[in-house]
Amino acid sequence: MLRQMNFYGRRGAVAAAIALLASCGGGGGGNGSGFFPITGPAPAPTQPEVTPVIARHTVSGTVTGLVGSLVLQSNAGDDLTLTADGKFTFATAIAEGSAFAVSVRTQPFWQFCVVTKGIGTVTADVADVAVSCSAAVAEVSTLAGSGAFGALDGNGTAATFADPYGIVVDKNGGLIVSDVGRNRVRKITADGNVTTFAGNNTTATVDGNGTAASFNSLTAIALAPSGDLYAAEFIGNRIRRITPAADVTTFVGTGAGGSVDGNAASATFTGPIAMTLDGAGNIYLAELNTALIRKITPSGDVTTLAGSGGFGFADGTGAAASFARPYGIAADAAGNLFVADSDNNRIRKVTPAGVVTTFAGSGAAGAADGAAAIASFQRPGGVAFDTAGNLYVADTGNSILRKITPQGEVSTVAGQAGAMGSQNGIGAAARFSEPSGVAVGTDGTIYVADTLGNRIRKVAPVGAP
């Protein structure tokens, strides 16, 4: 009995000890659960992070009517250059749900392109952007000059001119003008600020700097790639050189009237009225009173390229050809000369070898547009090329601005024949007053020396109203 009680007593003690250890979390092992391990639910396995896939879509469309080079832009960052009609697609795809915007960054030369269906939100590939291009129209405005006869410097219409005649575009996009009524060379910045670069109101051949120099009946000007400017003296019968620092010297011509070929110290001229340079730096002159085309090399050697020395009309080579009061001259990229043969109402072409042909004009005085052989002019004056090879003509007697394509097609850009004035406007609504000089910037903007209007006019391409 005693042994039985001891047994049960020992068993109770052990049970009590186990219970105590369990309640206190004691016991052996590293799990703190005593003799009976206690475990919770197993942790869930870590899932890899998944980047959501965003769909991207292309933007494309069609261009029609394009002649030249057009630059489109998508979302102000993705440029696309197009040179022909057809389908186009931007290189950069756009995330689904994002906005897209197609715009024209650079218009084609004398064209105006409009974008439709070019704005929206991308939900799928965009394929219906439409770009339509058409010929631009000419908007005429006044860059500088109040219309009053004078020589005031100033900005825009605060400045005055006195029969502005020759005009060239400088390398900075500004203008240089020969102001013949005051024997001054004027400069005009792109924003219309006018200053006097060289010359004063004195009619004399005086070398010097800036306004200390003077000219004897200043007429034509031409700009060399070096930055030197050449100016012709109609009565002084000399060609003057003006450096970018405004130092004026005599380049060639003795001052005596005549048509003697030779070097700078012995050559003579008679009434040089128009002037241009070719790519090699040769100067070409049109002499009004002798109707000759003269050539001056960069070293000052003078020769006669074409013309008989008397007024007339004849195609031919050298002295076998004849002109009648040539008033304008320009060189194309190949070195051919184009002469405004004023009294013959024609535009003549002269090759570097002196071969003269008729490029445009029937010879009748008029303002008929059309093919070269049937088109007409009235006392054409200044001429200038654009970078596309089109020739612009200041049709002085008609007071209009004309254009001749490389194929000889003649059209009226601005002004109305026989209607003189200084009205700004689009195309035929604009007015000129016997313009003499014309120049074209690299962007296609045309500048006109509106001689009797005493203004410098700007002709820029815009979309049709």
Q: What is the mean pLDDT of the chain?
A: 91
Q: Between the ranges 24-38, 43-57, 439-453, where is the mean pLDDT highest? A: 439-453
Other Cβ atoms within 10 Å of 69 Cβ, number: 14
Helix or strand holding residue 16 (H, E): helix 2-24
Q: What is the mean pLDDT of residues 443-449?
A: 96
Cβ–Cβ under 8 Å, residues 326 and 359: no
Edge-to-edge strands, sheet with 59-64: 86-89, 59-64, 126-135, 111-116
User: Model confidence at 46, in pLDDT bands (50, 70, 90)?
Assistant: confident
User: Model confidence at 39, in pLDDT bands (50, 70, 90)?
Assistant: low
Tokens of 273: 């009225």
Other Cβ atoms within 10 Å of 1 Cβ, number: 5
Predicted confidence (pLDDT) per residue in 209-243, tens digit: 999 999 999 999 999 999 999 999 999 999 999 99
Q: What is the mean pLDDT of residues 136-145?
A: 97
Please name the residue that has the structure tokens 């042909």: 357
Q: What share of the chain is helix, strand, coil (3-state, %, to 5)?
A: 10, 45, 45
Q: What is the mean pLDDT of residues 253-269?
A: 96
Cβ–Cβ under 8 Å, residues 214 and 200: yes
pLDDT confidence of residue 255: 96
Report the C-alpha gap between 161 and 177 in whole angstroms.
10
Better pLDDT: 200 or 48: 200
pLDDT confidence of residue 464: 76
- Give buried/exposed letters for 265-277 (b at 16+ CB in 10 A, else e): eebbbbbbbbbbb
The number of angstroms, rounded, from the C-alpha of 125 to the middle of its chain's C-alpha atoms is: 35
Predicted confidence (pLDDT) per residue in 334-361, tens digit: 999 999 999 999 999 999 999 999 999 9
Backbone angles phi, psi at 161, to 5 degrees: -130, 165
Q: Residue 39 carries which side chain, given as an amino acid letter?
A: T
Q: What is the mean pLDDT of residues 323-332?
A: 98
Compute the C-alpha angle 274/227/354, nearest 5°: 40
Predicted confidence (pLDDT) per residue in 393-435, tens digit: 999 999 999 999 999 999 999 999 999 999 999 999 999 999 9
User: Model confidence at 44, in pLDDT bands (50, 70, 90)?
Assistant: low
Report the C-alpha gap between 29 and 41 in whole angstroms.
20
Is 51 buried (19+), middle (13-18) or exposed (0-12) by CB count in 10 A? exposed
pLDDT at 447 over 70: yes
pLDDT at 5 over 80: no
Q: Residue 321 carries which side chain, given as an amino acid letter?
A: A
pLDDT confidence of residue 50: 65
Other Cβ atoms within 10 Å of 49 Cβ, number: 5
pLDDT confidence of residue 53: 73
Q: What is the mean pLDDT of residues 2-17?
A: 40
pLDDT confidence of residue 257: 95
DSSP structure class, residue 161: B
Choose the weakest-confidence range: 32-36, 149-153, 280-284, 453-457. Answer: 32-36
pLDDT at 26 over 50: no
Cβ–Cβ under 8 Å, residues 285 and 269: yes
Better pLDDT: 292 or 28: 292
Pick the closest to residue 233 from 287, 305, 300 (CA basis): 287
Predicted confidence (pLDDT) per residue in 54-98, tens digit: 899 999 999 999 998 999 999 988 999 999 999 999 999 999 999
Predicted confidence (pLDDT) per residue in 356-386, tens digit: 999 999 999 999 999 999 999 999 999 999 9
Give residues with Cβ within 8 angstroms of 394, minimum separation 6.
Answer: 328, 380, 381, 382, 383, 401, 435, 436, 437, 438, 448, 449
